[in-house]
Amino acid sequence: MKIFISIPSVNLAYGGPAVSVVALANGLAQAGHQIGLWCPNNSVTRVEPMSGAESLELLTGTFDQAVASFGMPQLMHDNGIWWAHNHRIARYAERHGLPRVVSTRGMLEPWARRHKRGRKTVAWQLYQKRDLLSAAALHATSDQEAANVEALMPGKLVAAIGNGLDMPGEDSVAFSDGARQAGPRQALFLGRIHPVKGLPLLLRAWHLAAPKDWRLVLAGPDEEGHQQLLEAEVARLGLAGVVSFTGPVSGEAKAQLLAASHLFVLPSHSESFGMVVGEALAHGLPVLTTLNVPWPQLEQLGCGWRVSGTVEAIAAALSDATRCDNQRLAQMGRRGRDLIAEQYGWDKIAERFTGLYSRVLANPGAPVSA
């Protein structure tokens, strides 16, 4: 298949899709498909095709220039909504009779729709609803997200396909270094410092639980000046000696931070998938998160805690988690690592997308019903 894939940005500050969409493009190319990957901000130039993904083309310039360079695709896969280029792609596909798959990437989740609601209401009425209705299929990264999309788009085909994840080597797995037994243990948040992540809840819950001999590390890029608000909350709660901010981390520094931690925390108000949850599990870390994050396996398989998004519930889970000894935490993390290895390899995810694309191409020219 010849597939044109678009995403707003592959810069890490864009969040999980910047990683997962690039990995999907590589996985599809490794499976033998001809893939064109384009970003409107030209950040695609930072991508390095993986071994065996020689059919992955990195497309630059405007959308029209990228399509002209790639040649007419059989199918377009657009990631994200609301952006001007998403509307441009929808109109292009409609004019040329090209089937289009749209990955909503959490942008239709209830919290996301309420955030900056005024602008989104206008865009929804002007073009966004029509653009989604004209898509051949919609893609969600979890059953939870798929249900929310289906409620807005009844009758549309909504395919729930999770993101794939890379498995780090055993030397990057948490609890593999016995020397870390001494000193304070470390809970880690990794992601955008953004209101959607629920970090004020986490700080208040940490103050309430008051775990002994633990520290909390918040790692990630600041967005909308949110870190300043959090720093003020840290000072107000008297947590300055316990909570630290690292700024953005990536590559080996990120892997080392995960390996040096004992617990991963993600108190989000909304996640379509929660890529960092999978990354933490792949590194052998147990995870504490909220019911807004679609990882029911945490409790089903005993590799973490998943609670309501309130200060009291998060504090209770923190108390439970931080009272666990390292052996129990390591056992939970190992179960999570096994889950990722068994179900989230990129070869399996690429195969599922190939099936979705094939279903769409079998019905050219018309949206596919559920």
pLDDT tens, position by position, 169-209: 888 889 876 555 567 999 999 999 999 999 999 999 999 99
- What pLDDT band is residue 43 in, cutting at 50, 70 and 90? very high
In this structure, which topology does domain 2-164+345-361 adopt according to CATH?
Rossmann fold (3.40.50)
For the cut 60, the answer to whether the pLDDT of residue 59 exceeds it is yes
The answer to whether 293 and 305 have CB atoms below 8 angstroms apart is: no
> What are the domain boundaries of the chain?
2-164+345-361, 170-343
Q: Which of 285, 233, 246 is nearest to 262 (CA)?
A: 285
CA distances from 94 to 88, 100, 309, 325 (A): 10, 9, 41, 58
- The span from the CA of 307 to the CA of 314, in Å, is 7
CA distances from 88 to 20, 135, 187 (A): 23, 13, 43
- The span from the CA of 147 to the CA of 165, in Å, is 23
The token duo for 201 is: 């809840």
pLDDT tens, position by position, 78-135: 999 999 999 999 999 999 999 999 999 888 888 888 888 888 899 899 999 999 999 9
In this structure, which topology does domain 170-343 adopt according to CATH?
Rossmann fold (3.40.50)
What pLDDT is recorded for position 229?
96
Average pLDDT value for the chain: 92
For the cut 90, the answer to whether the pLDDT of residue 370 exceeds it is no
Between residues 35 and 173, the one the model is more confident about = 35
Q: What does the DSSP assignment read for 276-301?
A: HHHHHHHTT--EEEETTS--THHHHT
Length of the chain: 370
The answer to whether 2-164+345-361 and 170-343 have equal CATH topology is yes
Look-up of token digits 């596909």: 93
What pLDDT is recorded for position 319?
98
Q: What does the DSSP assignment read for 115-139?
A: TTHHHHHHHIIIIIHHHHHTSSEEE
For the cut 80, the answer to whether the pLDDT of residue 15 exceeds it is no
pLDDT tens, position by position, 275-287: 899 999 999 999 9
Least confident of 161-165, 235-239, 323-327: 161-165
What pLDDT is recorded for position 182?
65
* Residue spans of alpha helices (H) in 97-221: 110-114, 117-123, 129-133, 143-152, 199-209
Long-range pairs for 110-119: beta carbons < 8 A, 24 or more residues apart: 110/148, 110/270, 111/196, 111/269, 111/270, 111/292, 112/196, 112/270, 115/195, 115/196
Give the type of residue at 361: L
Q: Which of 352, 271, 351 is nearest to 104 (CA)?
A: 271
